[in-house]
Amino acid sequence: MKILVCQPPGRFPGDRYVCPFPSRWTSMFQGYPVFIYYPYELAYLSTLLKREFPDDYVKLIDGTYLRFTAEDYIQYLDMEKPDWLIFEVDTVTYQESLRIAKAMQSKYGTRVIITGQYPTAYPEKVMADGMDYACVGEFEYAVVDILNGLDPKTIPGVYPNSYRTVLDIDSLPDPEDEDIRRIDYSYCGGHRWTKFREIEVHASRGCPYTCDFCVAGTVYYEKENWRFRSPARIVAEIENLRRKYPEMEGCWFNEETHIIRKKDIMAFCQALIDSGNNDLHYEAMANHQRIDEEILEMIRKAGYYKLRLGIETIDEATGQSIGRKTKADRLHDLLRSAKKLGIEIYGTFMIGASGSTPEGDRKTIEYGKKLISEDLISSWQCSISVPHPGTTFHKKAIENGWLNTNDLESFNGSSGTVVSYPNYSSDQIMESVRLMSREFRDARPQETVRPKRSLAAEKTAILKQDKPEIDRLVQSMNALDAAGDTAQAVQEATAILQKFPQLLSPRYVIGKSHAAGGDFAKAREEFEFIYKTAVDYDDALMFGAGAHYRLGLICIEENRKDEALQHFKMCMHLSPDHKEARRLYWELIPDTVPEEATTSALVS
């Protein structure tokens, strides 16, 4: 069998880019290639299938990372001709993924398994759309049962059946790190807001809460579902990653909620300390309701430097409606304790939730401003509350007539709100979002041109007072380079670096000059310095893409095609409109696709 495990396309019609996270929500940005989360559940599925079907061809394709359109995906899959296609989708990504799936069914008789939030909420719709299987909830072992040829009517977690018993997460192998590289998802700063180069690791799964807006708590699982992995397994995974990626600086435990049972987090922290892995930098998603000072002290000893806390709202009526109450005084005390210990806080806030009002959201904005001004939160996120299908919030929205659109791709939490209340219109909700953004930003003035969201960004930061001079010098250098006066451009680039060594664009000019002269070793040195320094996502967008493209060209000259392909992939990720990188990717990629699948017969 030839089995392809697929993350949805990353570029939608209208120059829109998605950042999928089906067990939470998928964000969408117009004209901006947003960072991508590591597709952890598909990654676990991929390695599980490789373990369970060792004689078959299994491959994970992340079309989101590659910024594939649906047409790009079909072009790629035309080379693979899969027997099986597995997508994890949510409301936003379903329609584009469906286009791809139907094309494969029509062309090659491919059998399609749809997993994720959308088929969990609407399995009948998925089947009516012609898909072969719709998985309900957690899906890894349900897919294994399907591929083993079991009758879907007998498989828990596959429509027409309901959820299967939650799996033992320690039964899974470590997630995929060959077909996709985990370090490639570790850009810091930007919208990701990680301070260090942190690889995503999942120490737990699920959520015991049932907040009305949350997919994990009300859609993905049927009953009590939170589980923590064996500390020894997590530590072993971290140590494997450290050996493979020496540039790794830490881990982001990007779970629904990392801290629930005190005994679990205390035991894990002790394992980190005992194994000597507390020299790394860790951050985690967490519920502030489950944290006390003893936990704060222990996680700090274990190497945690940041917690991401869901504050959401401090308005009592909104909290009552969503099922998530925040006691402002207790939270304030907790944040003061965290600050004393040197633990940063990333606060998430929600606007337009069920039960919200202009006055209630304004109260939350004022509270957040106070936390920022007192330096109790170092970074923040404003989320537009979305009633994802299958959630309690969605049911409320339908019953009360709050929905103002049925366009599935609008349920993305970033391009706008899909609800309007009698006392709080959609326009008012979006004005509250803009107000929060302005007031939170102004609560902490900055001295640099861009916010220093990571340690890497601090290394390349430009002071506002220096920007006019830097702009003038770089403009002159670029004009010389464009005019073909390479020697003078390099001379000016060298002079710029003497005064402003943190700049990366002069190194690009110098590297191009070395490459043009055939000195690939020196050119490689410059371009590798650029992309290894530009690990803050904003820097990577500006400088890393070009450096990867130039390194790809050098690798072709040196007949290192596999390495060249990796650089072109990373260039496409950071600069989706880079035509030459895309052209060279499509020239090289056929060499990675086997002509035929294995001899195993297609499951009937």
CA atoms within 13 A on the CB side of 9: 24
Query: Please, are residues 146 and 113 in contact by the beta-carbon 8 Å criterion?
Result: yes
Question: Which string of DSSP letters, residue by residue, matches 90-141?
Answer: -TTTHHHHHHHHHHHHHHH--EEEEEEHHHHH-HHHHHHTT-SEEB-SS-HH
Distance CA 315, CA 325 (A): 8
- The alpha helices in 275-357, defined as continuous H runs, are 293-301, 316-322, 328-341
Query: Please, are residues 312 and 217 in contact by the beta-carbon 8 Å criterion?
Result: no
pTM as predicted: 0.94
Q: pLDDT tens digits for 237-264? A: 999 999 999 999 999 999 999 999 999 9
Residue 241: what pLDDT?
98
Distance CA 249, CA 274 (A): 19
CA-nearest of 157, 118, 152, 128 to 140 is 157
Residue 54: what pLDDT?
98
Question: Which string of DSSP letters, residue by residue, matches 257-274?
Answer: -S-SSHHHHHHHHHHHHH
Residue 599: what pLDDT?
36
Helix axes 293-301, 262-274, angle to 10 degrees: 20
CATH number of 2-169: 3.40.50
Quote the radius of gyration of the chain (alpha carbons, Å): 25
Q: Which CATH superfamily is domain 181-445 in?
A: tm_1862 like domain (3.80.30.20)
- Please tell us whether the domain made up of 460-591 is placed in CATH 1.25.40.10: yes
Q: Give CA separation, 113 vs 23, 71, 74, 81, 109, in Å.
A: 17, 20, 17, 15, 13
Residue 598: what pLDDT?
37
CA angle (174 as vertex; 223, 88 as ends), nearest 5: 55
Distance CA 33, CA 540 (A): 11
CA-nearest of 415, 424, 359 to 383 is 415
Task: Show me where the domains of the chain are located.
Answer: 2-169, 181-445, 460-591
Hey, do 2-169 and 181-445 end up sharing a CATH topology, with the first three levels equal?
no
DSSP secondary structure code for residue 603 in this structure: P
Which residues is 308 bridged to in the sheet?
Answer: 285, 346
Q: pLDDT tens digits for 299-356? A: 999 999 999 999 999 999 999 999 988 888 999 999 999 999 999 999 999 999 999 9
Which residues of the chain are modeled with pLDDT < 50? 597-604
3-state SS class at 375 = coil
3-state SS class at 281 = strand
DSSP secondary structure code for residue 314 in this structure: -
